[in-house]
Structure 1
């Protein structure tokens, strides 16, 4: 089981960018069944331009829509983060997103070449959490009731077909 820390993945004491929220919580009443979205805002309060890179402790469980890019001085960007369906929910604070940055010039166009030639200047972890208890909302209850009705109808049709088949088999004897 992952410990949430990667070897050599140490948070910086000085981090020039501002991350909001400080903890990502994936909340959806159908979490684990559908993609669940959360957003991370990266703000650059400085006069410098940076390139950022975001990594996660489990790439099978989470997806990052724009893992690399640039952030101009005194601006902010919003990054879409996704929890992938079909995987059991882990305990809280086991996984995290790591946000790295490197100062770059205003003319830089290719972040990949910067990341291959330089080491990151800062790193910050954003812990990942899930709801402790999935609250059954009225909408969820209605969806469950509709699912039950549909299942009963399918069973009824299936039983009727089986009855017809059984009758046909009885007639052939």
Structure 2
């Protein structure tokens, strides 16, 4: 089975094929992709990330170790933002400190929870269902989070899906679920 370097380098070098396929789908089947420079650059990043992302279900994988702190910090930050307006201990310093205390607790729970909820390696995370979920989430991120136009966001979602699917093909383990 390919390792981290093989997955990521495969994503780096095969991206032009995904771009060519997107042009073909647009030009011959009318798929409304917009391949702007920005969409292709963001698509490249999410394609290459997707080329290793299925291994997030392996606790020793670099992608798992890199994703876990991002999930923990994002969770803690969200709790901090929510808690900051609802804590009233009398002074600003106590309110902010208490909100950060709740944020840290949530981050630690997310840290351990991330590994605990991951299914076995090469389970459901190594599936076309998760590839599609990654594509849809990537689309939503750039469409609603970054305000990218629909056609560009569609291309980004397609690129993310293709990168994730590349990993499955390299592993020789393409399954629907």
TM range (shorter): under 0.3
State the TM-score, normalized to the length of structure 2. 0.26
Q: Which structure carries more helix by proportion?
A: 2
Higher relative contact order (CA 8 A, sep 6+): 2
* Structure number, greater radius of gyration: 1
Q: Which structure carries more strand by proportion?
A: 1
State the TM-score, normalized to the length of structure 1. 0.26
